[in-house]
Structure 1
Amino acid sequence: MAANGPGQGYASVLRGAYSVVAQVRAKPGKEADLRAVTLTLIDLVRGDPKNLVYFLQENRKSPGHFIFYEVFATLEDFEAHNGMPYVQDWFSRLPDLADGGVEVLRMEILGV
């Protein structure tokens, strides 16, 4: 998002854009496995032309606790993203790797 210098990439994110903050936690002993399958999402999601922002983060004090930050122009774009085969494949792996499901906060961008 840093196109042409600090803050310039924000121009592609408009007020009212659909954003998501989500988290998932690995089962004990499955931290490395969940990390490995989750890291593959970065290039795939960022390669989606409807994705505006995507960050995958891991809690420094709690390895295996991942936080996602994603921005799409619309709810429909986000739903289409969730229907992509690589996202569905990732979801299908969670019962073996994650402690519970994905917790999702659905947000609205208020200002840019």
Structure 2
Amino acid sequence: MTNAHRQGDGVTRRHLAKSLGAGAFMTAAFVGSANAQTPAGTAPPFELPQGAVTVVAYLQASGGRENKLAEISSHLMAEVRENEPGNLLFQTHRGADVPGLILFYEVFATEEAFQAHKDAEHTKRWFREIEPLVAGPVQVFVLRAV
């Protein structure tokens, strides 16, 4: 584990596993076989393309700034969904039982799509805007579908 993947202020992997469910923290729980049955009102499961890039990232809001951080992050989510055709999924979450936790679950079709996301002006702007709102660095886990 590198320094960038250390525990955040008040947020530990144990907290994340408890909030999200142990399996959901580091796996794509929504991925299933093409023949799976889906309950009414739910999206059908799908398989990720081989080599797809999944990103799980989280951060901790500082001193009551969770609402502003969530608002800025919702704007990023909308921009990614609208302007990045290589993005298959981008979802922002708030910690259910960890106050101030913001978690992102993102899936990109290719490494190139993920690089385009990192290079996009809206992503760079988001990092600038959140700097005064967070208690530490964004913790990022990059995974590749097999």
Q: TM-score, normalised by structure 2?
A: 0.65
Partner of 2:111: 75
| Alignment partner of 1:6 is 2:44 | yes
1:45 matched to which residue of 2?
80
Cα displacement (A) at 1:28: 1.4
Deviation of 1:94 after TM superposition, in Å, equals 2.3
CA shift at 1:64, angstroms?
Answer: 2.1
Say which structure is richer in strand: 1
**How many pairs align?**
104
Which of 48, 56, 59 matches 1:24?
59
Q: Distance in 1 between matches of 2:109 and 2:66?
A: 32
Aligned partner of 2:121 among 85, 100, 103: 85
Q: Secondary structure at the match of 2:88?
A: strand
Runs of 5+ in structure 1 lacking a partner? none
Runs of 4 or more above 4 Å deviation: none
Q: TM-score, normalised by structure 1?
A: 0.83
